[in-house]
């Protein structure tokens, strides 16, 4: 056993015991906890609701907006199969909500529709990020006037 030498300097780093770093685990991670089969079931429910809503007597577009936006929150790359006629049905019901005839809130349905219209929805370190599609304009950009030189 080495003898204690009072003249030697004590290195406190040699005394420190390193504790293994604890990983903070997410309680719920969609990429880990939701399977492809789960998404298929949700998409099947959505398709069924869309088919029912397309019938004139059963139009509950508010339910489709809510379910579809929730699927898009989880995975914005999924093709939800919403067509032009579905958008028309949603807009018609949104107008009824705005006029106060619906049981659901206008704000909730409008928010769901914004999520559906977005190109990408993701949760970042800064919070929820909703990236909208760029709107195409019919006007073309004005070309630069070429520089004219005299010789």
Give the pLDDT means over successive 10-residue stretches in the chain (151 positions). 66 71 77 93 93 79 92 90 93 87 79 93 87 75 72 67
Q: What is the pLDDT of residue 47?
A: 93
Q: What is the pLDDT of residue 62?
A: 87
Length of the chain: 151
CA count, 13 A, side-chain hemisphere, 98: 8
pTM: 0.66
Helices and strands (DSSP H and E) totals, the chain: 6, 2
Q: What is the pLDDT of residue 40?
A: 94
CA count, 13 A, side-chain hemisphere, 134: 3
CA count, 13 A, side-chain hemisphere, 105: 4
Joined together, the tokens standing for residue 112 give 């769901």
- Using a 10 angstrom Cβ sphere, with 0-12 exposed, 13-18 middle and 19 or more buried, the burial of residue 53 is buried
């Amino acid at each position: 056993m080495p003898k204690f030498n009072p003249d030697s300097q004590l290195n406190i780093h040699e005394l420190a015991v390193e504790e293994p770093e604890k990983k903070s685990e997410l309680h719920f991670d969609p990429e880990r906890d939701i399977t492809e089969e789960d998404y298929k079931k949700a998409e099947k429910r959505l398709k069924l609701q869309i088919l029912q809503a397309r019938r004139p007597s059963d139009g509950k577009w508010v339910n489709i907006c809510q379910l579809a936006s929730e699927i898009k929150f989880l995975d914005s790359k999924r093709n939800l199969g919403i067509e032009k006629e579905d958008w028309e049905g949603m807009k018609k019901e949104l107008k009824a909500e705005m006029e106060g005839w619906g049981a659901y809130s206008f704000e909730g349905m409008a928010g769901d529709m914004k999520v559906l219209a977005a190109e990408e929805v993701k949760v970042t370190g800064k919070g929820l990020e909703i990236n909208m599609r760029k709107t195409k304009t019919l006007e073309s950009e004005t070309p630069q006037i070429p520089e004219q030189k005299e010789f």
